[in-house]
Amino acid sequence: MKTFSFIGSDKNAGKTTVFNFVFRKLLEDPGQDARVCLTSIGINGEEVDTYEGHAKPFIYLYKNSYFVTACEHLKELTGKYEICFSFNDFNKLYIFGKCLTDFQVVLEGPNSGQELLRLKKVVANILPKSYLLIDGSIDRQFLAHPDISDDFYFALLISDRREQIQKAQDLLYSLTFPVCAENQRQFLANTGHQDTKSILYDKKNQILYHGSEIPGFDEDLKDICMKYKNAKTSLYLNGAFSKSLFAFFAPFKNLTIILDNFTLYQNMSVSENPGPRFSPEIFLLHPVRVNKIFLKQDAGKTVFPGLPKNIPVINLFRENPYEIGI
């Protein structure tokens, strides 16, 4: 089973459209006979945007495709699906079902990494040759763990608003970080555990600090980093690398930062102020596996600075979808 996760730079970045598009492409591809199962992190597929009040693209399922959603979204769909499995020991009842006909649905899957892993195990057991599509969210960092997602599809909004452009560029910047060296990867794999949020270590791999608090709130981490500010050290982070952390670490010339995955980079500008010059080098523990970037251009711009060179960039609304592979 392959798992594709979908994330968007903003609300209305066209994530659900991309989700629907990839789903249709997988179903229509005559070369593949795999099953497709859809779910979502939290709730998606509602008809109306809760915040902005306008209509949202809905999620339409086709006969013989599969889904995992919370039971309350199936009340009006009696007889149109059959049940493959019920997750009745999660924090709410989720149904893994098969569509007996086409229908529109609200998808709402589990919202934690542990439950998602369990869901994957069940789906892979029942549908070993399949694709699992997860309508995700950039603030769910567990999605980027290699045990959860094999590949990502990234929906990127480009508007005329300078703040939005800066935010989009910051997001794209996180896709350009190189992967850390293999010996570092091995060291971190052997040292970290499920609760690890940060590890500070020196060039001889001596651990100076091992934290399980969210890095942004971990004052002990900041204290120990200050203590070793002039030494050659590396800091592994498995929690949001926020604007305030970015500002804190900006002057650390001898520090190397290793983020667990690209979704942790959340130094998103909300203004045109570029912020302090950042001295440490940033690496990723888990490589970026973004398969494609799908643009939604509210502006007339055709050229956008900062797009990664090694990831295909597509505007679904402007290019011929027949020619777009997945």
Span near another protein by CB under 8 A; candidates 94-102, 206-214, 259-267, 273-281: 94-102
Cβ 199 vs Cβ 191: under 8 Å: yes
Per CB under 8 A, 242 contacts another protein: no
Per CB under 8 A, 194 contacts another protein: no
Q: Please, which of residues 34-63 interact with another protein by CB under 8 A?
A: 57, 63
Residue type at position 181: A
For the record, the structure tokens of 235 come out as: 């800091």
In the list 64, 88, 125, 212, the residue contacting another protein (rule: CB under 8 A) is 88
Q: Residue 115's closest CA among 96, 98, 97, 131?
A: 96
For the record, the structure tokens of 240 come out as: 């949001």
Per CB under 8 A, 288 contacts another protein: no
Nearer to another protein, 252 or 294 (CB): 294
Cβ 3 vs Cβ 148: under 8 Å: yes
Nearer to another protein, 68 or 138 (CB): 68
- The C-alpha atoms of residue 235 and residue 249 are separated, in whole angstroms, by 10
* DSSP code at position 101: S
Nearer to another protein, 88 or 244 (CB): 88
Nearer to another protein, 76 or 151 (CB): 76
- The C-alpha atoms of residue 232 and residue 280 are separated, in whole angstroms, by 11
Cβ 101 vs Cβ 63: under 8 Å: yes
Least Cβ distance, residue 41 to another protein (angstroms): 21
Q: Residue 179's closest CA among 277, 289, 253?
A: 289
Span near another protein by CB under 8 A; candidates 69-77, 177-185, 194-202, 261-269: 69-77
Q: How many residues bind another protein (CB under 8 A)?
A: 37
Span near another protein by CB under 8 A; candidates 98-106, 164-172, 200-208, 268-276: 98-106
In the list 48, 83, 207, 247, the residue contacting another protein (rule: CB under 8 A) is 83
Per CB under 8 A, 76 contacts another protein: yes
- The C-alpha atoms of residue 252 and residue 237 are separated, in whole angstroms, by 15
CB proximity list for 2: less than 8 A, separation 6 or greater: 130, 131, 132, 150, 151
Interacting residue ranges for another protein, rule: CB under 8 A: 14, 17, 20-21, 24, 57, 63, 71, 74-76, 78-84, 86, 88-89, 93, 95, 97, 100-102, 297, 299-300, 315-318, 320-322
